[in-house]
Amino acid sequence: MARESRAGSERIIKTEYSEVMQKSFIDYAMSVIIARAIPDARDGLKPVQRRVLYDMQELGLRYDRPYRKSARIVGDTMGKYHPHGDSSIYDALVVMTQDFKKALPLVDGHGNFGNIEGDSEAAMRYTEARLAKVTQEAFLADLDKDVVDFVPNFDETEKEPSVLPVKIPNLLVNGSEGIAVGMVTSIPPHNLGEVIDAMKAYMLDENITTRELMRYIKGPDFPTGGLVTNKDELLEIYETGVGKIKIRGKVEIEKAKGGRTNLVITQIPYPMIGANISKFLTDVAALAESKKTQDIVDISNQSSKEGMRIVIELRRDADAENFKNLLLKKTRLEDTFGVNMLAICQGRPETMSLKQILKASVDFQFEVATRKYTNLLNKETERREIQEGLIRACNVIDLIIEILRGSKDRNMAKECLVNGVTDGIRFKSRESRIMAAQLCFTERQANAILEMRLYKLIGLELEALINEHEETLANIYRYEDILARRDSMAQVIINELEEIKREYARPRRTVVENVEEAIYKEKEIEETELVCLMDRFGYVKTVDKTTYERNREAADGENKYVFPCKNTGKICLFTDTGQLHTIKVMDIPSGRFRDKGVPLDNISNYSSEKESIVFVTSQTELNLCRVVFATAQAMVKIVDGGEFDVSKKTVAATKLSEGDTVVSVACLHDQKNMVLQSREGYFLRFSVDEIPEKKKAALGVRGMKLGEKDRIEAVYYTKNAVETAVEYRGKKLVLNSLKPGRRDSKGVKVRV
């Protein structure tokens, strides 16, 4: 229910709650989309950016005047136009100053406004700002000529422009990124000169195709430079407004001292801006630590105000080109920029193509120019009327002076000048009265005559008035021609665009090409036979076979797991939680027999605090056998070892019931019987053939009937004609002597 109060009385309105929620959410979503997160296609600005720039204009922060504290700008914008958090306003101000994020910075900042490596800006009380020159000339220049609509601010105490009269397609030049409710915009920046050329081409031929427009706009031009590698895909991106742009950093190979080679990164992909630079350095270091490469000697970030410079020193025998490909494959030196050219067009969000954005910008330019020159024409027409009146007045100035001297008040003189009313005015002669009766100045002309100063009667002033009148007539003719002919208006717009291009265009930074995908060739490693040793504390190492043979007795006595492996293979750890952890043998330290080794926790996802190792073997061994599982709740199954040949470091090796754990994992070779031992002393010996083969994701079948609180404590295997004995409660127990049973029976209780 909704409650409404009027004049002290209450009226209950009954409504469906879901309808209220739906309407409220739609209103909220549209508010976020239209009024906050998505830019307008006409000026390419979000509301907060537009309000900041307009407020700076109102504060008089021109490019040729002193800077003003950012806190003053933020506070004034928040109080007058943008009733949201000060941080969002300051963030918008900061981004508009950063030349590494914006192709055309709109604000001239003074102080610490952050840097390309992600260091944050100083607090707003420390920094200062003013409008950039291009903003003053291309974004705000004609605001005083009634070229755009002004709307009330949030509390209707001020007026603000609904859009700025931007003279360039700023949506393309500076791009935009924003997240709204259910939609996102991501528009890459472009080169100002190329965008202006494309806009001119569209104005001259509205039927121009996207392919033809791309003769002017080669592709995105990121402030950080880089190399766009999928040139052929850009046409579809610009036609649909959606796609992915692949971009690489610029890498140069330099010769260093001592015959070494340095890889120097001088430009980075645009998405790497900020914290991703430090992540890139970390990723490169990780390549060396994980032994993906052994070519790195040192890495240093030597970037400065002069530009980006990340230096990677390589070994003398390193293949620099191959290492470069490794960086492209394994780090963010090659990245993608997701394009979704979403903007507000005619009051609603729309994914726009390149041509649609140019059309919206051109239509807006014609609309602005029409309003501008209509306004100028009206002013020049008024000026012509006044000038013609003053010129006529100068020709009969003696009569006008006589009327002024003979009139009792201003209204009497004005009536005579406008309507020729001479009643009550004293004239020197009858001829003067007759001439005065013939006067027919307009009201505006009469006011100008009455306000005219005597110095205007000087000969030079009169000549200047005539020249000014001729100039006004020329302006009127020009403005009428511009308004009457679209070609004339188009030429005026083109002239303004060419001036902006001459003043502010810069060479392209981003190279656009078709480049083949980077291929990294790993160095071929000579395959060798090793022996893996793991002690009961979870320390693991590998030694060559010769070393193992020399120390076989000590190795077998001191280690819990001893098995052969290859340096190119993996070892597999099965844990009581049902997980399988794989470790590359190359990640395990290899050395002398007496070396301690490394904890498993350090080289795998295994955690000794959360799980215990049940079985360890090599991937090669697993591929050649079948694996049998037994759990504490007596669930058993056999799984083909090939199912555990996985690429992930950790996978589920088996499915477990709630509260169950894995007790035993073993490779089946020539074992014939399984023996399950419970905590309460029950033993069950049955044939391995009774255990069904299942998938690793299966639960298995029950191997033994247990009491309510009983659990499987140990699992053994026996072979035919081979005696197998274990120690049970201090005494020897021959497992072969146990009476054979069937799977899923209770077994026999052994008393000692």
Which residues have a catalytic role annotated?
126
710 SS3 class:
coil
234 SS3 class:
helix
Burial of 480 (0-12, 13-18, 19+ CB in 10 A): middle
The beta strands (E) that lie in 305-360 are given as: 310-314, 334-340, 342-345, 348-351
Q: How far, in Å, CA of 112 to CA of 122, rounded?
A: 5
Query: Residue 582: CA atoms inside 13 Å, Cβ hemisphere, count?
Result: 17
H helices present in 170-269, as ranges: 170-173, 192-204, 210-213, 234-240
Helix (H) or strand (E) holding 573: strand 570-575
Residue tagged 């024409």 (tokens) = 377
Residues 473/475/480/483 CA torsion (nearest 10 deg)? -170
Q: What single letter denotes the amino acid at residue 555?
A: A
Whether residue 236 contacts residue 248, with contact meaning beta carbons closer than 8 Å, is answered with no
Query: β-strands 731-734, 725-728: how paired?
Result: antiparallel
Here the tokens at position 373 are 């020159």
Q: How far, in Å, CA of 176 to CA of 732, rounded?
A: 79
Query: β-strands 342-345, 176-179: how paired?
Result: unpaired
Here the tokens at position 211 are 């392919």
- Other C-beta atoms lying within 10 Å of the C-beta of residue 310: 21
- Other C-beta atoms lying within 10 Å of the C-beta of residue 601: 12
Q: How far, in Å, CA of 668 to CA of 365, rounded?
A: 80
Measure Cα distances from 189 to 175, 216, 552 in Å. Answer: 4, 15, 67
Q: What single letter denotes the amino acid at residue 635?
A: M
Residues 202/203/204/209 CA torsion (nearest 10 deg)? 20
Return the axis-axis angle of helices 430-437 and 397-406, rounded to nearest 10°: 100
Nearest to 415 by CA among 384, 443, 451: 443
DSSP state of 200: H
Residues in a beta bridge with 686: 674
Q: How far is CA 499 from the centre of its chain?
A: 33
Helix (H) or strand (E) holding 504: helix 486-504
* Rg of the Cα atoms in the chain: 43
Whether residue 310 contacts residue 299, with contact meaning beta carbons closer than 8 Å, is answered with yes
- Other C-beta atoms lying within 10 Å of the C-beta of residue 402: 20
Here the tokens at position 18 are 């879901």
Angle at 363 between CA 358 and CA 369, to 5 degrees: 125
